[in-house]
């Protein structure tokens, strides 16, 4: 029933899309301005111009709705053979595809072009919270799983929720008992933590670094393969606490499904140039992104494998059958 409703909503929103395709390159950010997808489009657009790889100004279009589903559906239905369209994506996109939240649309309905940077998941608490380590927090959860509330900037079953559910599951805590409150973006979720309305924040490293430096937050764990650099260098990984949980929030793109092979390979070439450039390295550092670079078939294979992994994770914690 939910899938049918979601699919109907996507179709209705697609009907509002203008039929004319504007010239020039366009990067679609599947959310409102100010979020990660918007930042990805605007930052890569600036680098494309700086490197003289684009025919002119790269226009960013914000197409919010259905956690990226509206932009995905419009790309497939209305822009399927437009070689000038690049759409920002992340694991949030792949997670929803894995859980079949985009109706009948699947990961095979677009072409995956590349990823050029990443962030890693973190769990943070207020600076004066009683927990000093992840083990302290897990002990409180085990004692009374419903006593703590987690905030995040994604929907229920979205990536900020999934991070903490997986962590709980691997720690032997029933994920169904974890209380999670979704907010419209990480900023609002962090404000709820600082205001004392929730006890734990689930987000990305770049979202908390400023608050950590200001002494308002402390990060208990990073969901990275190795310790991060910068303000979070002293924070242990989940693996250091014996939990096999990582969460990489890559920043990448897909393109319409029916462009020619030559047009697809041109996007691969362009993103390859961007990812290897000093201009992008500087932009990545400025935006506090970690290195993560993958294009073409390698990236496409990675996304399809991630869909399978996310489906297995979602079944493991009871989100899908």
Query: Does one domain contain both 150 and 290?
Result: no
Q: Is 167 exposed, middle or buried (0-12, 13-18, 19+ CB in 10 A)?
A: buried
Q: Closest Cα partner for 82 from 61, 106, 107, 104?
A: 61
CA neighbours closer than 13 Å in the CB half-sphere of residue 224? 26
CATH of the domain at 48: 3.40.190.150
Question: What CATH code is carried by the domain that includes residue 158?
Answer: 3.40.190.10
The pLDDT tens digits of the residues spanning 79-127 come to: 999 999 999 999 999 999 999 999 999 999 999 999 999 999 999 999 9
Instruction: Mark which of 196, 222, 241 sits at the end of a domain.
Output: 241
Average pLDDT across each block of 10 residues of the chain; the chain has 321 residues. List them in order.
48 44 82 87 97 95 92 98 97 96 97 97 97 96 93 90 94 94 88 96 92 96 92 95 94 98 98 98 93 97 97 90 85
Q: Is the domain of 159 the same as that of 200?
A: yes
How far apart are the C-alpha atoms of 192 and 179, rounded to whole Å?
14
pLDDT tens digits, residue range 291-308?
Answer: 999 999 999 999 999 999
Q: Mark whether 52 and 85 lie in a shared domain.
A: yes
Q: Which of 226, 241, 256 is where one domain is finished?
A: 241
- Examine residue 45 and state whether it is found in any structural domain, yes or no: yes
Q: Whole domain around residue 126: which residue ranges?
A: 120-241
The confidence score (pLDDT) of residue 13 equals 46
């Amino acid at each position: 029933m939910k899938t049918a409703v979601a699919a109907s909503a996507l179709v209705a929103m697609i009907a509002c899309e203008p039929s004319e395709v504007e010239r020039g390159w366009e990067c679609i950010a599947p959310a409102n301005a100010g979020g990660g997808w918007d930042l990805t489009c605007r930052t890569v657009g600036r680098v494309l111009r700086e490197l003289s790889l684009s025919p002119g100004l790269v226009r960013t279009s914000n197409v919010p709705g259905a956690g990226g589903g509206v932009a995905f559906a419009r790309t497939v239905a209305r822009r399927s053979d437009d070689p000038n369209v690049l759409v920002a994506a992340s694991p949030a996109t792949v997670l929803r595809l894995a859980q079949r939240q985009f109706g009948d649309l699947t990961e095979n309905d677009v072409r995956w072009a590349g990823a050029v940077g990443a962030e890693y998941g973190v769990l943070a608490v207020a600076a004066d919270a009683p927990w000093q380590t992840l083990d302290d927090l897990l002990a409180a959860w085990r004692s009374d799983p419903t006593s703590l509330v987690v905030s995040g900037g994604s929907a229920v079953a979205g990536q900020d929720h999934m991070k903490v559910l997986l962590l709980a599951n691997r720690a032997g805590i029933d994920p169904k008992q974890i209380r999670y409150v979704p907010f419209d973006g990480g900023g609002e979720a962090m404000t709820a933590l600082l205001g004392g309305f929730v006890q734990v924040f689930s987000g990305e490293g770049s979202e908390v670094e400023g608050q950590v430096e200001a002494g308002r937050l402390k990060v208990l764990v990073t969901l990275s393969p190795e310790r991060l650099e910068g303000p979070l260098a002293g924070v242990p990984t989940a693996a250091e606490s014996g939990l096999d949980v990582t969460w990489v929030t890559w920043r990448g793109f897909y393109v319409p499904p029916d462009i020619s092979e030559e047009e697809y390979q041109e996007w691969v070439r362009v993103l390859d140039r961007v990812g290897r450039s000093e201009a992008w390295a500087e932009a990545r550092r400025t935006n506090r992104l970690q290195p993560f670079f993958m294009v073409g078939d390698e990236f496409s294979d990675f996304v399809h494998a991630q869909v399978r992994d996310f489906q297995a994770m979602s079944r493991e914690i009871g989100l899908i059958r």
